Amino acid sequence: MAYFYLSLGSNIRPYHNLVAALDALSDQFESLTTSSVYESTAVGFCGDNFLNLVVGLSSKRRLIDISCYLKSLENSLERDRSASRFSSRTIDVDILVMDNRVTREDGIDLPRPEILTNAFVLLPLAEIAPDTIHPVTGKTYAYHWREFNIGDQKLWPVDFFWGEGNISSNATKELRST
């Protein structure tokens, strides 16, 4: 059994696509841990704002099988793979971390470098895994968030209703002050 953290983001019908992705993930995996949902400005291009969150889940599946499932999920939500890397998208689901492994398997580099460079990845990860150690730096995600230079990256928590209610209701009360 391995524990995975996934980053989910969308700026094309983001509410619809994130709900669909969360529904699909909850059908495939026994229990999901979800961060609050954050709205952020597009990074690397001019475009509509994104909604982003991080999801934690455990699975007995191999890394490549999880990756294939996530690509299939993105395809089912009409992800345009011909678009440039920095462009609008219906859904983007990336594996951030698998346990505490540092690996390159089947073209997947873990941990993902954007954990430490993008606020829309690091903040929700620090929210649901504050005491988890980054497998390369040896420091917690909460530490990395406290030390993060947000610069011109803009993000803020938004209400987001899924499942039993507002998954952002516990939003960043404690993280806002850090």
Q: Whole-angstrom distance between the N-terminal and C-terminal Cα of the chain?
A: 33
Per-position DSSP letters for the chain, written without gaps between them: -EEEEEEEEESSSHHHHHHHHHHHHHHHSS-EEE--EEEE--SSS--PPEEEEEEEEEESS-HHHHHHHHHHHHHHTT--TTS-SSS--S-EEEEEEETT--EEETTEEES-GGGGT-HHHHHHHHHH-TTPBPTTT-SBHHHHHHH---TT--EEEE--EETTEETTTTTTHHHHT-
The pLDDT tens digits for 42-96 are 887 788 999 999 999 999 999 999 999 999 999 999 877 767 677 789 999 999 9
Whether omega for the bond prior to residue 113 falls within 30 degrees of 0, making it cis, is no
Q: Per-residue confidence at 106, pLDDT binned at 50, 70, 90?
A: confident
Residue 144's pLDDT band, with cuts at 50, 70 and 90, is very high
- Model pTM score: 0.92
pLDDT digits (tens, 9 = 90+) for 2-40: 999 999 999 999 999 999 999 999 999 989 999 999 999
- How much is the pLDDT for 88? 83
Fold classified for 2-112+154-170: Alpha-Beta Plaits (3.30.70)
